[in-house]
Amino acid sequence: MRGQRLNKILLYNEGADQALNIEEIAEYLRKKLAKVGVEVRGDPFAFYLLQNKILDYARRIASIKIQEATRRMVFGQEPLYGEIEYEKRRILGKTRAFGILYDGLELQRIFWELIPGEERRLEFVHIFFTNRLFATWEESDKRYHARTSVYGMPSIISTTGVVEAPAKPREYYLLKQQYEMLRRDLLELKDAFKGRFIDYEDERLTEVMKGYAMQAVFYSVLGEPFCEDKGCRLYNAHWQEELIFAQLGSEYEFCPRHTKFLEDEEWALRR
């Protein structure tokens, strides 16, 4: 265990799904961690970014786009003009459109630069909620895997990732294959599975994201965001069914071990 003193949790909204209520998450964290300050900062680009840096950031974000899931990206290639323009519009808040896959670790690195130097310390937990989808490279099977979150400084949590990364029911994929062959609209298919996975603009999203925010907090304090208990909110769900159970369906919020941490108000403040 690392044992890190917590000072403040800072929540950012980088174009996250509109169903996400960050104020509600902040309130939840305040209740769970009574002695830790929680601040909602909104759009990190609007908060920190200097006007003369917009083009530079747009270019860098455009250059960390993953082209192929099975080919490890070598970054540094100059992006196309249109790609930079799109990223500029995103940074300026002129669009929330998403659908690009980024390298999660590179994205985390870019977001890290947006944090003022004096707050780049482990006593601050920076959590960026975004609708950008990101993936990390897995050496074991030589491919990128979409992720809901990448924890660290800062922690980034994707409202798109929570829809796309944990696997949907097996029958969904079998039918999806058929729908694609027939060129039928997948909206119809999603309707048939409604409720069995977290979707875009899902009214359950905020509740689910409270668990992911707690994973980020536990990572900062203990160095381990996850729990092996399937009913604990810190469970690292790989299936939507598991995710829904851990975040919404379990009889308890946290397993006995993690509940014990949270019952001790001084827990997160000790070194």
Partner 1 sequence: MVEKFSPVGEKEVTRAIASEFVTQFLEYVESDCIIVGGGPSGLMAGRNLARAGKKVLIVERNNYIGGGFWIGGYLMNKVTIRHPAERVLDELGIPYKEVTPGLLVADGPHACSKLIASACDSGVKFANMTIFDDLVLKEDGRVAGVVINWTPISALPREITCVDPVALESTIVMDATGHDAQVVRKLEERGLIKTKGFGAMWVERSEDLVIEYTGEVHPGLIVIGMAVTTVYGLPRMGPTFGAMLLSGEVGAEIALEKLHERAKVK
Residue 159 token pair: 């409202």
Could you say whether residue 201 binds partner 1 (CB under 8 A)?
no
Residue 207 token pair: 């509740």
| Smallest distance from partner 1 to CB 258, Å | 35
Selected binder of partner 1 within 72, 95, 113, 228 (CB under 8 A): 95
Q: Which single residue is written with the structure tokens 């668990």?
A: 211
Query: Interacting stretch for partner 1, rule CB under 8 A, among 77-85, 109-117, 137-145, 235-243?
Result: 77-85
| Smallest distance from partner 1 to CB 219, Å | 28
How many whole angstroms separate alpha carbon 220 and alpha carbon 126? 9
| Smallest distance from partner 1 to CB 97, Å | 4
Number of other residues whose CB lies within 10 A of the CB of residue 115: 20
In terms of CB distance, is 26 or 91 closer to partner 1?
91
User: Residue 250 contacts by C-beta under 8 Å, 6 or more apart in sequence?
Assistant: 230, 231, 232, 233
Could you say whether residue 34 binds partner 1 (CB under 8 A)?
no
Query: Could you give the count of Cα atoms lying within 13 Å of 61 in the half-sphere of its Cβ?
Result: 29
Q: Which single residue is written with the structure tokens 């990128």?
A: 144
| Smallest distance from partner 1 to CB 106, Å | 16
Selected binder of partner 1 within 50, 74, 174, 182 (CB under 8 A): 182
Query: Interacting stretch for partner 1, rule CB under 8 A, among 33-41, 106-114, 122-130, 187-195?
Result: 187-195
Rg (the chain; Cα; Å): 19
- Please tell me what DSSP assigns to residue 14: E
Could you say whether residue 65 binds partner 1 (CB under 8 A)?
yes
Say if residues 157 and 213 touch (Cβ distance below 8 Å): yes
In terms of CB distance, is 70 or 140 closer to partner 1?
70
Residue ranges in contact with partner 1 by CB under 8 A: 65, 67-69, 80-83, 85-86, 89, 95, 97-101, 180, 182-188, 191, 200
